[in-house]
Amino acid sequence: MTASPEGWLKHALLIACCVVLHSCGNLVEHSSDRAWHQAGAPQAPSTNGKLVYSITPISPGHGDPIRAGDLVYAHVRSGTTWSTTDANVWLWTGDERADDGFTNLLDLGPAGLRAAFIGKQVGEHFRVEIQGMGLSCCASVAIPLFGFVPNDAERELSHYDGNRWPVAPLSSGQGPTPWGQFEILAKCPAHLLQRTALHEQWGPVLNMFDMHYPTSRSGTLVWGALQADCAPPHPPVRFEIGPLSSAINRQLLDWDASYAGYANLAGVSRPMTAGPLTGVIVFIAAFVITRRLQQGTVTRGKPRQP
* The pLDDT value given to residue 222: 83
Q: How far is it, in rounded angstroms, from Cα 256 to Cα 242?
A: 10
Which DSSP state fits 116? T
Of the candidates 15, 170, 19, which has an alpha carbon nearest to the alpha carbon of residue 91? 170
Q: What are the respective helix, strand and coil percentages of the chain, to the nearest 5? A: 20, 35, 45
Q: What is the mean pLDDT of the chain?
A: 74
Of the candidates 92, 97, 46, which has an alpha carbon nearest to the alpha carbon of residue 227? 92
DSSP H/E element including 283? helix 274-301
Of the candidates 76, 19, 9, 8, which has an alpha carbon nearest to the alpha carbon of residue 280? 19
Does residue 253 or residue 111 have the better pLDDT? 111
Does residue 60 or residue 267 have the better pLDDT? 60
Say whether pLDDT at 277 is over 90.
no
Q: Which of 9-13, 39-43, 77-81, 129-133 has the lowest mean pLDDT?
A: 9-13
- Give per-residue pLDDT as tens, 10-37: 555 555 555 554 445 677 777 777 889 8
* The pLDDT value given to residue 58: 95
* The pLDDT value given to residue 235: 85
Cβ-defined contacts of 8-14 (< 8 Å, 24+): 8/290, 8/293, 9/290, 9/293, 9/294, 12/286, 12/289, 12/290, 13/286, 13/287, 13/290
* The pLDDT value given to residue 9: 60
Under 8 Å between Cβ of 43 and 68:
yes
Q: How many residues does the chain have?
A: 306
Q: How far is it, in rounded angstroms, from Cα 77 to Cα 169?
A: 10
* The pLDDT value given to residue 261: 56
Q: How far is it, in rounded angstroms, from Cα 79 to Cα 251?
A: 42
CA dihedral 241, 247, 249, 251 (to 10 degrees): 90
* The pLDDT value given to residue 105: 76
Of the candidates 84, 85, 66, which has an alpha carbon nearest to the alpha carbon of residue 75? 85
* The pLDDT value given to residue 275: 46
Cβ partners under 8 Å of residue 218, min gap 6: 198, 199, 200, 201, 251, 252
Say whether pLDDT at 253 is over 70.
yes
* The pLDDT value given to residue 272: 36
For residue 42, the tally of other CB atoms under 10 A from its CB is 16
Q: Which of 60-64, 151-155, 198-202 has the lowest mean pLDDT?
A: 151-155
E strands in 4-111: 28-33, 37-39, 52-59, 70-79, 84-92
- Give per-residue pLDDT as tens, 179-221: 889 999 999 999 999 988 888 888 777 777 777 777 888 888 8
Q: How far is it, in rounded angstroms, from Cα 280 to Cα 275?
A: 9
**Mean pLDDT in residue range 149-163:** 59
* The pLDDT value given to residue 296: 59
Beta partners for 180? 128
**Mean pLDDT in residue range 54-64:** 93
